[in-house]
Structure 1
Amino acid sequence: MALAALVPGALLGWAVYAAVGGSEDAKGTAGGPSASPSASVSATSRAPSSPGASPTAGPDGGKPGASPSSASPSASRPAASGPLKGKVVVIDPGHNPGNVRHTAEINRQVDIGTNRKECDTTGTATNDGYAEAAFTLDVAHRMRTLLEEQGATVTLTQDADRPFGPCVDERARIGNKAGADAVVSIHADGSGAGNRGFHVILPGSVRAGAADTRAIVEPSRELGERVAGHFVRVTGSAPSNYVGDGTGLVTREDLGGLNLSTVPKVFIECGNMRDSKDAALLTSGAWRQKAAQGISEGIVSFLRGQ
Protein backbone atom coordinates (compact mmCIF):
# COMPACT_ATOMS: atom_id res chain seq x y z
CA MET A 1 0.00 0.00 0.00
CA ALA A 2 1.12 3.53 -0.66
CA LEU A 3 1.25 5.29 2.69
CA ALA A 4 3.11 8.41 1.67
CA ALA A 5 -0.02 10.29 0.65
CA LEU A 6 -1.64 10.06 4.07
CA VAL A 7 -1.56 12.79 6.68
CA PRO A 8 -0.54 11.83 10.23
CA GLY A 9 -4.15 12.02 11.43
CA ALA A 10 -5.04 9.13 9.15
CA LEU A 11 -2.03 6.90 9.74
CA LEU A 12 -3.52 5.03 12.68
CA GLY A 13 -6.36 3.66 10.57
CA TRP A 14 -4.04 2.50 7.83
CA ALA A 15 -1.66 0.92 10.33
CA VAL A 16 -4.53 -1.09 11.80
CA TYR A 17 -5.50 -2.26 8.33
CA ALA A 18 -1.95 -3.36 7.58
CA ALA A 19 -1.77 -5.25 10.84
CA VAL A 20 -4.96 -7.25 10.25
CA GLY A 21 -4.46 -7.65 6.47
CA GLY A 22 -7.54 -6.90 6.29
CA SER A 23 -24.04 11.33 -9.50
CA GLU A 24 -24.30 12.37 -10.06
CA ASP A 25 -22.88 9.01 -10.56
CA ALA A 26 -19.31 8.95 -9.31
CA LYS A 27 -18.66 5.67 -11.09
CA GLY A 28 -16.85 7.02 -14.17
CA THR A 29 -13.80 4.91 -14.94
CA ALA A 30 -14.18 2.98 -11.72
CA GLY A 31 -17.77 1.94 -12.04
CA GLY A 32 -20.08 -0.33 -13.90
CA PRO A 33 -23.81 -0.60 -14.59
CA SER A 34 -26.45 1.56 -12.98
CA ALA A 35 -29.70 0.22 -11.61
CA SER A 36 -32.42 -0.49 -14.11
CA PRO A 37 -34.74 2.45 -14.81
CA SER A 38 -37.89 0.16 -14.29
CA ALA A 39 -13.10 12.20 18.65
CA SER A 40 -14.93 8.98 19.02
CA VAL A 41 -18.44 9.04 17.83
CA SER A 42 -21.12 7.03 19.59
CA ALA A 43 -22.84 4.11 17.88
CA THR A 44 -26.50 5.10 18.06
CA SER A 45 -28.45 5.32 14.80
CA ARG A 46 -31.78 5.75 13.14
CA ALA A 47 -33.72 2.77 11.87
CA PRO A 48 -31.80 1.04 9.04
CA SER A 49 -33.11 0.13 5.63
CA SER A 50 -34.14 -3.42 4.94
CA PRO A 51 -31.38 -5.13 2.94
CA GLY A 52 -34.02 -6.51 0.60
CA ALA A 53 -35.47 -3.12 -0.24
CA SER A 54 -36.23 -2.59 -3.90
CA PRO A 55 -34.50 0.19 -5.85
CA THR A 56 -37.59 2.34 -5.34
CA ALA A 57 -37.90 1.78 -1.60
CA GLY A 58 -37.21 4.60 0.81
CA PRO A 59 -34.75 4.41 3.71
CA ASP A 60 -37.33 2.98 6.07
CA GLY A 61 -39.32 0.96 3.55
CA GLY A 62 -41.64 3.86 2.72
CA LYS A 63 -42.45 5.33 -0.66
CA PRO A 64 -39.98 8.02 -1.70
CA GLY A 65 -41.13 11.16 -3.41
CA ALA A 66 -44.52 11.09 -1.69
CA SER A 67 -44.06 14.60 -0.35
CA PRO A 68 -44.05 17.62 -2.66
CA SER A 69 -40.87 18.55 -4.49
CA SER A 70 -38.76 21.10 -2.71
CA ALA A 71 -35.82 23.14 -3.96
CA SER A 72 -34.39 23.29 -0.45
CA PRO A 73 -32.37 20.51 1.22
CA SER A 74 -33.57 18.46 4.16
CA ALA A 75 -33.98 20.93 7.01
CA SER A 76 -31.32 21.16 9.68
CA ARG A 77 -32.27 20.73 13.30
CA PRO A 78 -30.83 22.74 16.20
CA ALA A 79 -27.42 21.35 17.10
CA ALA A 80 -26.62 19.96 20.52
CA SER A 81 -23.72 21.29 22.54
CA GLY A 82 -20.51 19.45 21.85
CA PRO A 83 -17.05 19.77 20.30
CA LEU A 84 -18.51 20.49 16.85
CA LYS A 85 -20.94 23.18 17.99
CA GLY A 86 -20.86 25.94 15.37
CA LYS A 87 -19.64 23.60 12.63
CA VAL A 88 -21.82 22.88 9.59
CA VAL A 89 -21.71 19.50 7.87
CA VAL A 90 -23.59 18.68 4.68
CA ILE A 91 -24.18 15.00 3.91
CA ASP A 92 -24.97 14.26 0.28
CA PRO A 93 -26.68 10.85 -0.08
CA GLY A 94 -25.96 9.83 -3.65
CA HIS A 95 -28.89 9.50 -6.06
CA ASN A 96 -32.51 9.40 -4.87
CA PRO A 97 -34.85 6.39 -4.55
CA GLY A 98 -37.29 8.17 -6.87
CA ASN A 99 -34.79 8.65 -9.70
CA VAL A 100 -35.80 5.35 -11.30
CA ARG A 101 -39.26 6.78 -11.96
CA HIS A 102 -37.95 10.05 -13.41
CA THR A 103 -35.36 9.02 -15.97
CA ALA A 104 -36.25 11.80 -18.43
CA GLU A 105 -35.74 14.45 -15.76
CA ILE A 106 -32.45 13.07 -14.46
CA ASN A 107 -31.08 12.59 -17.97
CA ARG A 108 -31.26 16.29 -18.81
CA GLN A 109 -27.87 17.97 -19.10
CA VAL A 110 -26.52 20.46 -16.56
CA ASP A 111 -23.37 22.57 -16.59
CA ILE A 112 -20.55 21.21 -14.40
CA GLY A 113 -17.96 23.81 -15.41
CA THR A 114 -15.75 21.61 -17.56
CA ASN A 115 -18.64 20.32 -19.71
CA ARG A 116 -22.28 19.29 -19.47
CA LYS A 117 -23.43 16.12 -17.76
CA GLU A 118 -26.62 14.30 -16.73
CA CYS A 119 -28.57 15.88 -13.87
CA ASP A 120 -28.24 12.66 -11.86
CA THR A 121 -28.36 8.88 -12.31
CA THR A 122 -30.34 6.03 -10.81
CA GLY A 123 -27.26 4.61 -9.11
CA THR A 124 -26.40 0.94 -8.96
CA ALA A 125 -27.72 -1.99 -6.88
CA THR A 126 -26.60 -5.34 -5.55
CA ASN A 127 -27.38 -8.42 -7.61
CA ASP A 128 -30.22 -9.08 -5.14
CA GLY A 129 -31.75 -5.65 -5.78
CA TYR A 130 -30.63 -3.58 -2.78
CA ALA A 131 -30.39 -0.10 -4.28
CA GLU A 132 -27.49 2.26 -3.85
CA ALA A 133 -30.00 5.04 -3.22
CA ALA A 134 -31.40 3.13 -0.22
CA PHE A 135 -27.87 2.43 1.05
CA THR A 136 -26.74 6.05 0.84
CA LEU A 137 -29.79 7.35 2.72
CA ASP A 138 -29.37 4.78 5.47
CA VAL A 139 -25.72 5.68 6.01
CA ALA A 140 -26.58 9.39 5.84
CA HIS A 141 -29.22 9.02 8.56
CA ARG A 142 -26.76 7.21 10.80
CA MET A 143 -24.11 9.87 10.18
CA ARG A 144 -26.56 12.65 10.94
CA THR A 145 -27.29 11.16 14.34
CA LEU A 146 -23.61 10.71 15.17
CA LEU A 147 -22.56 14.18 14.07
CA GLU A 148 -25.47 15.94 15.73
CA GLU A 149 -24.48 14.25 18.97
CA GLN A 150 -21.10 15.97 18.55
CA GLY A 151 -22.86 19.34 18.24
CA ALA A 152 -22.65 19.82 14.47
CA THR A 153 -25.42 21.37 12.43
CA VAL A 154 -26.17 18.74 9.78
CA THR A 155 -28.04 19.14 6.49
CA LEU A 156 -28.85 16.41 3.96
CA THR A 157 -29.02 17.37 0.28
CA GLN A 158 -32.04 15.05 -0.05
CA ASP A 159 -33.96 12.72 2.23
CA ALA A 160 -36.28 10.99 -0.26
CA ASP A 161 -38.39 14.12 0.31
CA ARG A 162 -38.54 15.07 -3.36
CA PRO A 163 -39.51 13.03 -6.44
CA PHE A 164 -35.98 12.95 -7.89
CA GLY A 165 -32.56 14.57 -7.65
CA PRO A 166 -31.33 17.10 -6.79
CA CYS A 167 -29.18 17.53 -9.87
CA VAL A 168 -25.43 17.45 -9.36
CA ASP A 169 -25.04 21.21 -9.74
CA GLU A 170 -27.72 21.83 -7.12
CA ARG A 171 -26.07 19.35 -4.76
CA ALA A 172 -22.91 21.45 -4.93
CA ARG A 173 -24.85 24.68 -4.39
CA ILE A 174 -26.53 23.29 -1.27
CA GLY A 175 -23.15 22.83 0.42
CA ASN A 176 -21.94 26.21 -0.81
CA LYS A 177 -25.06 28.05 0.38
CA ALA A 178 -24.82 26.37 3.79
CA GLY A 179 -21.25 27.61 4.17
CA ALA A 180 -20.40 24.03 5.08
CA ASP A 181 -17.18 23.29 6.90
CA ALA A 182 -17.22 19.83 5.30
CA VAL A 183 -19.34 18.02 2.72
CA VAL A 184 -19.25 14.27 2.12
CA SER A 185 -21.13 12.58 -0.71
CA ILE A 186 -22.06 8.96 0.08
CA HIS A 187 -21.98 6.32 -2.67
CA ALA A 188 -21.40 2.64 -3.37
CA ASP A 189 -19.77 1.50 -6.59
CA GLY A 190 -21.08 -0.75 -9.36
CA SER A 191 -17.89 -2.27 -10.71
CA GLY A 192 -17.21 -5.86 -11.78
CA ALA A 193 -17.20 -8.89 -9.51
CA GLY A 194 -13.84 -9.36 -7.80
CA ASN A 195 -13.29 -5.60 -7.54
CA ARG A 196 -13.49 -4.87 -3.84
CA GLY A 197 -12.91 -2.17 -1.27
CA PHE A 198 -13.66 1.50 -0.77
CA HIS A 199 -12.18 4.62 -2.27
CA VAL A 200 -12.45 8.32 -1.51
CA ILE A 201 -12.70 10.71 -4.46
CA LEU A 202 -10.93 14.06 -4.15
CA PRO A 203 -11.47 17.15 -6.31
CA GLY A 204 -8.77 17.91 -8.85
CA SER A 205 -7.66 21.45 -9.60
CA VAL A 206 -10.28 22.76 -12.04
CA ARG A 207 -10.77 26.26 -13.40
CA ALA A 208 -13.32 26.26 -16.21
CA GLY A 209 -16.60 28.05 -16.66
CA ALA A 210 -18.44 28.15 -13.33
CA ALA A 211 -15.95 25.74 -11.75
CA ASP A 212 -12.94 26.85 -9.71
CA THR A 213 -11.75 24.29 -7.17
CA ARG A 214 -8.30 25.72 -6.52
CA ALA A 215 -9.14 26.98 -3.04
CA ILE A 216 -10.65 23.67 -1.89
CA VAL A 217 -8.18 21.14 -3.31
CA GLU A 218 -5.90 21.02 -0.27
CA PRO A 219 -8.54 21.09 2.50
CA SER A 220 -10.57 18.52 0.57
CA ARG A 221 -7.52 16.24 0.38
CA GLU A 222 -7.06 16.53 4.12
CA LEU A 223 -10.74 15.73 4.67
CA GLY A 224 -10.50 12.75 2.33
CA GLU A 225 -7.35 11.37 3.94
CA ARG A 226 -8.88 11.57 7.39
CA VAL A 227 -12.13 9.95 6.22
CA ALA A 228 -10.17 7.15 4.53
CA GLY A 229 -8.00 6.49 7.58
CA HIS A 230 -10.89 6.33 10.01
CA PHE A 231 -13.00 4.27 7.59
CA VAL A 232 -10.29 1.60 7.52
CA ARG A 233 -9.87 1.66 11.28
CA VAL A 234 -13.57 1.37 12.11
CA THR A 235 -14.82 -0.95 9.35
CA GLY A 236 -11.71 -3.06 8.72
CA SER A 237 -12.42 -2.70 4.99
CA ALA A 238 -9.54 -2.57 2.55
CA PRO A 239 -8.83 0.26 0.13
CA SER A 240 -9.97 -0.45 -3.42
CA ASN A 241 -8.07 -3.14 -5.30
CA TYR A 242 -9.05 -1.65 -8.68
CA VAL A 243 -8.52 2.13 -8.44
CA GLY A 244 -6.22 4.33 -6.35
CA ASP A 245 -3.10 2.13 -6.41
CA GLY A 246 -3.88 0.79 -2.95
CA THR A 247 -4.18 4.22 -1.33
CA GLY A 248 -7.98 4.38 -1.32
CA LEU A 249 -7.67 7.91 -2.76
CA VAL A 250 -8.64 8.95 -6.29
CA THR A 251 -8.57 12.45 -7.80
CA ARG A 252 -11.26 13.33 -10.35
CA GLU A 253 -11.97 16.42 -12.46
CA ASP A 254 -15.19 15.22 -14.12
CA LEU A 255 -17.69 15.31 -11.24
CA GLY A 256 -20.00 18.30 -11.03
CA GLY A 257 -20.58 17.80 -7.33
CA LEU A 258 -16.88 18.43 -6.76
CA ASN A 259 -16.14 20.86 -9.61
CA LEU A 260 -18.81 23.33 -8.50
CA SER A 261 -18.10 23.14 -4.77
CA THR A 262 -16.58 26.15 -3.04
CA VAL A 263 -16.25 24.34 0.31
CA PRO A 264 -14.20 21.23 1.26
CA LYS A 265 -15.90 18.20 -0.25
CA VAL A 266 -15.18 14.55 -1.05
CA PHE A 267 -17.06 11.52 -2.31
CA ILE A 268 -16.72 8.07 -0.74
CA GLU A 269 -17.52 4.85 -2.59
CA CYS A 270 -18.04 2.59 0.43
CA GLY A 271 -17.70 -0.69 -1.48
CA ASN A 272 -18.68 -2.46 -4.68
CA MET A 273 -22.31 -3.54 -4.77
CA ARG A 274 -21.67 -5.93 -7.67
CA ASP A 275 -19.17 -8.02 -5.74
CA SER A 276 -20.82 -10.64 -3.52
CA LYS A 277 -18.40 -10.18 -0.62
CA ASP A 278 -18.70 -6.41 -0.59
CA ALA A 279 -22.47 -6.69 -1.09
CA ALA A 280 -22.70 -8.81 2.06
CA LEU A 281 -21.17 -5.90 3.98
CA LEU A 282 -23.22 -3.17 2.33
CA THR A 283 -26.49 -4.97 3.07
CA SER A 284 -25.59 -5.46 6.75
CA GLY A 285 -27.07 -2.90 9.13
CA ALA A 286 -24.23 -3.53 11.60
CA TRP A 287 -21.63 -2.84 8.92
CA ARG A 288 -23.47 0.28 7.72
CA GLN A 289 -23.28 1.57 11.27
CA LYS A 290 -19.52 1.05 11.20
CA ALA A 291 -19.32 2.80 7.84
CA ALA A 292 -21.27 5.77 9.21
CA GLN A 293 -19.07 5.89 12.29
CA GLY A 294 -15.83 5.70 10.30
CA ILE A 295 -16.86 8.50 7.94
CA SER A 296 -18.17 10.60 10.83
CA GLU A 297 -15.00 10.19 12.85
CA GLY A 298 -13.00 11.27 9.82
CA ILE A 299 -15.13 14.41 9.58
CA VAL A 300 -14.72 15.08 13.31
CA SER A 301 -10.94 14.65 13.01
CA PHE A 302 -10.83 17.07 10.08
CA LEU A 303 -12.97 19.72 11.77
CA ARG A 304 -11.05 19.52 15.04
CA GLY A 305 -7.65 19.36 13.35
CA GLN A 306 -6.70 16.27 15.31
Structure 2
Amino acid sequence: MLLDNLSLFLRIVEKGGMAAAGRELGLSPATVSERLAALEAHYGARLLNRTTRSLSLTDEGRDLVEGAQRLLNEAEDLETRIRLGVNRVAGIIHVHAPVDLGRNKLSGVFDAFLDEHPEVSIDLTLGDGYVDLAGMGADLAIRYGALGDSSLKLRKLADSARIVVASPAYLARCGTPATPDDLLHHNCLLMRFGTDADRFWPFEKDGRKQVLAVRGNRIANDGGLVRKWCVKGHGIARKSQWDIADDLAAGRLIPLLQDYEVAPIPLQVVYPPGQNQPRRVRLLLEALVQAFAEDEQSD
Protein backbone atom coordinates (compact mmCIF):
# COMPACT_ATOMS: atom_id res chain seq x y z
CA MET A 1 0.00 0.00 0.00
CA LEU A 2 2.92 2.34 0.69
CA LEU A 3 4.13 2.07 -2.89
CA ASP A 4 0.61 2.71 -4.19
CA ASN A 5 0.40 5.83 -2.04
CA LEU A 6 3.80 7.00 -3.25
CA SER A 7 2.61 6.59 -6.82
CA LEU A 8 -0.52 8.59 -6.04
CA PHE A 9 1.58 11.30 -4.37
CA LEU A 10 3.76 11.67 -7.49
CA ARG A 11 0.64 11.84 -9.67
CA ILE A 12 -0.77 14.64 -7.48
CA VAL A 13 2.48 16.59 -7.88
CA GLU A 14 2.58 15.96 -11.64
CA LYS A 15 -1.04 17.03 -12.18
CA GLY A 16 -0.86 19.95 -9.79
CA GLY A 17 -3.92 18.94 -7.80
CA MET A 18 -5.61 16.12 -5.91
CA ALA A 19 -8.81 16.19 -7.96
CA ALA A 20 -6.96 15.90 -11.28
CA ALA A 21 -4.86 13.00 -9.98
CA GLY A 22 -7.95 11.26 -8.65
CA ARG A 23 -9.78 11.60 -11.97
CA GLU A 24 -6.86 10.11 -13.87
CA LEU A 25 -6.58 7.17 -11.50
CA GLY A 26 -10.33 6.66 -11.10
CA LEU A 27 -10.30 7.54 -7.39
CA SER A 28 -12.84 9.61 -5.49
CA PRO A 29 -11.71 12.85 -3.79
CA ALA A 30 -12.32 11.24 -0.41
CA THR A 31 -10.10 8.28 -1.27
CA VAL A 32 -7.30 10.55 -2.52
CA SER A 33 -7.45 12.58 0.71
CA GLU A 34 -7.44 9.46 2.87
CA ARG A 35 -4.47 7.93 1.09
CA LEU A 36 -2.48 11.16 1.18
CA ALA A 37 -3.24 11.46 4.91
CA ALA A 38 -2.06 7.88 5.40
CA LEU A 39 1.20 8.67 3.58
CA GLU A 40 1.78 11.75 5.74
CA ALA A 41 1.04 9.72 8.85
CA HIS A 42 3.51 7.05 7.74
CA TYR A 43 6.31 9.61 7.41
CA GLY A 44 5.16 11.78 10.29
CA ALA A 45 5.38 14.91 8.19
CA ARG A 46 3.16 17.15 6.13
CA LEU A 47 4.00 16.69 2.45
CA LEU A 48 1.74 19.23 0.76
CA ASN A 49 0.47 22.68 1.65
CA ARG A 50 -3.17 22.62 0.57
CA THR A 51 -5.73 25.40 0.20
CA THR A 52 -8.94 25.54 -1.81
CA ARG A 53 -7.07 27.23 -4.67
CA SER A 54 -3.49 26.03 -4.57
CA LEU A 55 -1.19 23.17 -3.70
CA SER A 56 2.55 23.32 -3.01
CA LEU A 57 5.24 20.98 -1.72
CA THR A 58 6.65 21.28 1.77
CA ASP A 59 10.38 20.75 2.26
CA GLU A 60 9.64 17.16 3.30
CA GLY A 61 7.46 16.75 0.22
CA ARG A 62 10.28 17.88 -2.04
CA ASP A 63 12.61 15.35 -0.44
CA LEU A 64 10.05 12.61 -0.99
CA VAL A 65 9.53 13.54 -4.64
CA GLU A 66 13.26 13.10 -5.27
CA GLY A 67 13.30 9.60 -3.76
CA ALA A 68 9.82 8.23 -4.47
CA GLN A 69 10.28 7.59 -8.18
CA ARG A 70 13.57 5.82 -7.52
CA LEU A 71 11.86 3.58 -4.95
CA LEU A 72 9.02 2.81 -7.36
CA ASN A 73 11.46 2.01 -10.17
CA GLU A 74 13.46 -0.28 -7.91
CA ALA A 75 10.31 -2.06 -6.74
CA GLU A 76 9.05 -2.53 -10.31
CA ASP A 77 12.45 -3.73 -11.47
CA LEU A 78 12.63 -6.21 -8.59
CA GLU A 79 9.16 -7.54 -9.34
CA THR A 80 10.01 -7.87 -13.01
CA ARG A 81 13.21 -9.78 -12.30
CA ILE A 82 11.46 -12.12 -9.83
CA ARG A 83 8.47 -12.74 -12.09
CA LEU A 84 10.24 -12.94 -15.41
CA GLY A 85 13.87 -13.68 -14.64
CA VAL A 86 16.94 -11.50 -14.69
CA ASN A 87 17.44 -11.85 -18.44
CA ARG A 88 13.97 -10.60 -19.40
CA VAL A 89 13.42 -6.90 -20.08
CA ALA A 90 9.93 -5.64 -19.20
CA GLY A 91 8.03 -2.75 -17.67
CA ILE A 92 7.19 0.86 -18.47
CA ILE A 93 9.62 3.67 -19.28
CA HIS A 94 8.50 7.30 -18.89
CA VAL A 95 10.17 9.65 -21.38
CA HIS A 96 9.83 13.40 -22.01
CA ALA A 97 11.05 14.93 -25.28
CA PRO A 98 10.65 18.03 -27.48
CA VAL A 99 7.67 17.84 -29.82
CA ASP A 100 9.39 17.87 -33.22
CA LEU A 101 12.27 15.66 -32.12
CA GLY A 102 9.86 13.12 -30.66
CA ARG A 103 7.76 12.93 -33.81
CA ASN A 104 10.51 13.08 -36.41
CA LYS A 105 13.43 11.20 -34.87
CA LEU A 106 12.68 9.50 -31.57
CA SER A 107 9.53 7.70 -32.67
CA GLY A 108 11.61 5.54 -35.02
CA VAL A 109 14.12 4.74 -32.28
CA PHE A 110 11.31 3.76 -29.93
CA ASP A 111 9.63 1.60 -32.58
CA ALA A 112 12.83 -0.40 -33.06
CA PHE A 113 13.39 -0.69 -29.31
CA LEU A 114 9.84 -1.97 -28.67
CA ASP A 115 10.18 -4.48 -31.50
CA GLU A 116 13.30 -5.81 -29.81
CA HIS A 117 11.78 -5.74 -26.31
CA PRO A 118 8.05 -6.52 -26.69
CA GLU A 119 7.43 -6.64 -22.94
CA VAL A 120 8.49 -3.00 -22.50
CA SER A 121 6.06 -0.07 -22.73
CA ILE A 122 7.11 3.53 -23.40
CA ASP A 123 5.00 6.37 -22.01
CA LEU A 124 6.12 9.38 -24.08
CA THR A 125 5.23 12.97 -23.17
CA LEU A 126 6.01 15.58 -25.82
CA GLY A 127 6.51 19.21 -24.86
CA ASP A 128 8.88 22.06 -25.63
CA GLY A 129 8.99 23.58 -22.13
CA TYR A 130 11.03 22.73 -19.05
CA VAL A 131 9.85 19.74 -17.03
CA ASP A 132 10.58 18.61 -13.49
CA LEU A 133 11.72 15.02 -14.01
CA ALA A 134 11.08 13.96 -10.44
CA GLY A 135 7.73 15.71 -10.26
CA MET A 136 6.38 14.06 -13.39
CA GLY A 137 7.98 10.70 -12.71
CA ALA A 138 10.10 10.68 -15.88
CA ASP A 139 12.91 8.16 -16.27
CA LEU A 140 14.57 10.03 -19.15
CA ALA A 141 14.20 13.46 -20.76
CA ILE A 142 15.73 14.69 -24.01
CA ARG A 143 16.88 18.31 -23.83
CA TYR A 144 18.70 20.88 -25.89
CA GLY A 145 21.35 23.17 -24.44
CA ALA A 146 22.96 23.64 -21.06
CA LEU A 147 21.68 21.70 -18.08
CA GLY A 148 20.03 23.96 -15.51
CA ASP A 149 19.55 21.37 -12.76
CA SER A 150 23.07 20.29 -11.76
CA SER A 151 21.72 17.36 -9.70
CA LEU A 152 20.67 15.50 -12.87
CA LYS A 153 22.90 13.11 -14.78
CA LEU A 154 23.33 13.35 -18.54
CA ARG A 155 24.59 11.60 -21.64
CA LYS A 156 25.33 13.62 -24.74
CA LEU A 157 23.53 12.38 -27.84
CA ALA A 158 24.81 14.79 -30.50
CA ASP A 159 25.61 18.35 -31.40
CA SER A 160 22.62 20.30 -32.63
CA ALA A 161 22.95 23.36 -34.83
CA ARG A 162 19.99 25.73 -34.96
CA ILE A 163 19.47 26.71 -38.57
CA VAL A 164 17.57 29.63 -40.07
CA VAL A 165 15.30 28.20 -42.78
CA ALA A 166 12.43 29.07 -45.08
CA SER A 167 10.41 27.33 -47.78
CA PRO A 168 11.14 27.83 -51.49
CA ALA A 169 7.68 29.40 -51.87
CA TYR A 170 8.36 32.01 -49.18
CA LEU A 171 11.76 32.89 -50.64
CA ALA A 172 10.28 33.21 -54.14
CA ARG A 173 7.62 35.57 -52.80
CA CYS A 174 9.63 37.61 -50.30
CA GLY A 175 13.27 37.28 -51.33
CA THR A 176 16.28 35.61 -49.71
CA PRO A 177 18.05 37.40 -46.82
CA ALA A 178 21.77 37.86 -47.47
CA THR A 179 22.72 39.09 -43.97
CA PRO A 180 21.10 38.80 -40.54
CA ASP A 181 20.01 42.46 -40.71
CA ASP A 182 17.83 41.55 -43.71
CA LEU A 183 15.63 39.53 -41.33
CA LEU A 184 14.25 42.80 -40.01
CA HIS A 185 12.30 43.01 -43.27
CA HIS A 186 10.95 39.46 -43.08
CA ASN A 187 8.23 37.65 -41.15
CA CYS A 188 9.94 35.46 -38.56
CA LEU A 189 8.12 32.53 -36.95
CA LEU A 190 8.82 32.37 -33.23
CA MET A 191 8.89 29.64 -30.61
CA ARG A 192 7.68 30.47 -27.12
CA PHE A 193 9.32 28.78 -24.15
CA GLY A 194 7.16 29.37 -21.09
CA THR A 195 6.25 33.05 -21.17
CA ASP A 196 9.21 34.14 -23.35
CA ALA A 197 9.25 34.12 -27.14
CA ASP A 198 12.57 33.19 -28.79
CA ARG A 199 12.85 36.50 -30.64
CA PHE A 200 16.57 37.17 -30.06
CA TRP A 201 18.47 35.22 -32.71
CA PRO A 202 22.30 34.98 -32.41
CA PHE A 203 24.70 35.11 -35.34
CA GLU A 204 28.48 35.08 -35.73
CA LYS A 205 30.93 35.67 -38.58
CA ASP A 206 34.70 36.14 -38.46
CA GLY A 207 34.57 36.32 -34.67
CA ARG A 208 31.97 39.08 -34.67
CA LYS A 209 28.86 38.18 -32.71
CA GLN A 210 25.46 39.71 -33.24
CA VAL A 211 22.08 39.20 -31.59
CA LEU A 212 19.13 40.34 -33.66
CA ALA A 213 15.64 41.02 -32.31
CA VAL A 214 13.31 39.58 -34.96
CA ARG A 215 9.56 39.98 -35.32
CA GLY A 216 6.71 38.06 -36.86
CA ASN A 217 2.98 37.52 -36.81
CA ARG A 218 3.02 33.90 -35.59
CA ILE A 219 4.22 32.68 -32.19
CA ALA A 220 3.62 29.23 -30.71
CA ASN A 221 4.85 27.02 -27.89
CA ASP A 222 4.73 24.00 -30.22
CA GLY A 223 7.84 23.39 -32.30
CA GLY A 224 5.92 21.16 -34.68
CA LEU A 225 3.49 23.95 -35.48
CA VAL A 226 6.31 26.44 -36.10
CA ARG A 227 7.89 23.94 -38.50
CA LYS A 228 4.54 23.42 -40.26
CA TRP A 229 4.08 27.19 -40.68
CA CYS A 230 7.56 27.42 -42.15
CA VAL A 231 7.04 24.57 -44.63
CA LYS A 232 3.77 26.19 -45.74
CA GLY A 233 5.61 29.41 -46.56
CA HIS A 234 4.35 31.69 -43.79
CA GLY A 235 7.80 32.95 -42.79
CA ILE A 236 11.35 32.25 -41.68
CA ALA A 237 12.09 30.00 -38.69
CA ARG A 238 15.10 29.01 -36.61
CA LYS A 239 14.99 25.27 -35.95
CA SER A 240 17.22 22.47 -34.69
CA GLN A 241 18.87 20.46 -37.44
CA TRP A 242 17.35 17.27 -36.00
CA ASP A 243 13.82 18.66 -36.24
CA ILE A 244 14.06 19.52 -39.94
CA ALA A 245 16.53 16.97 -41.34
CA ASP A 246 13.87 15.35 -43.55
CA ASP A 247 12.58 18.74 -44.75
CA LEU A 248 16.09 19.84 -45.74
CA ALA A 249 16.79 16.57 -47.54
CA ALA A 250 13.50 16.80 -49.44
CA GLY A 251 13.95 20.48 -50.32
CA ARG A 252 10.87 21.56 -48.41
CA LEU A 253 13.06 23.95 -46.41
CA ILE A 254 16.15 25.86 -47.51
CA PRO A 255 18.99 26.79 -45.07
CA LEU A 256 19.74 30.51 -44.89
CA LEU A 257 22.62 32.63 -43.57
CA GLN A 258 24.90 29.63 -43.17
CA ASP A 259 27.99 31.85 -43.05
CA TYR A 260 26.57 33.41 -39.88
CA GLU A 261 25.70 30.26 -37.91
CA VAL A 262 26.77 30.09 -34.26
CA ALA A 263 28.34 27.01 -32.68
CA PRO A 264 25.94 24.09 -32.15
CA ILE A 265 24.49 23.31 -28.74
CA PRO A 266 24.44 19.84 -27.17
CA LEU A 267 21.47 17.53 -27.45
CA GLN A 268 21.47 15.29 -24.42
CA VAL A 269 19.43 12.79 -22.47
CA VAL A 270 19.11 13.60 -18.78
CA TYR A 271 17.90 11.44 -15.93
CA PRO A 272 17.57 11.56 -12.14
CA PRO A 273 20.64 10.79 -10.02
CA GLY A 274 21.11 7.36 -8.53
CA GLN A 275 22.77 4.17 -9.68
CA ASN A 276 19.72 1.93 -9.60
CA GLN A 277 18.17 2.55 -13.00
CA PRO A 278 16.06 -0.39 -14.16
CA ARG A 279 17.71 -2.44 -16.89
CA ARG A 280 15.03 -1.46 -19.44
CA VAL A 281 15.89 2.25 -18.89
CA ARG A 282 19.61 1.62 -19.27
CA LEU A 283 19.01 -0.28 -22.50
CA LEU A 284 16.83 2.48 -23.96
CA LEU A 285 19.46 5.05 -23.02
CA GLU A 286 22.10 3.07 -24.90
CA ALA A 287 19.76 2.68 -27.88
CA LEU A 288 19.31 6.45 -28.05
CA VAL A 289 23.05 7.10 -27.87
CA GLN A 290 23.69 4.52 -30.61
CA ALA A 291 20.95 5.89 -32.90
CA PHE A 292 22.31 9.43 -32.85
CA ALA A 293 25.90 8.19 -33.24
CA GLU A 294 24.90 6.28 -36.38
CA ASP A 295 23.17 9.34 -37.81
CA GLU A 296 26.22 11.54 -37.22
CA GLN A 297 28.49 8.94 -38.87
CA SER A 298 26.26 8.80 -41.93
CA ASP A 299 26.33 12.62 -42.45
Q: Which has the higher contact order (CA 8 A, sep 6+)?
A: 1
Structure 1 or 2: larger helix share?
Answer: 2
More strand by percentage: 2
Pick the TM interval, shorter chain: under 0.3
TM-score, normalised to structure 1's length? Answer: 0.23
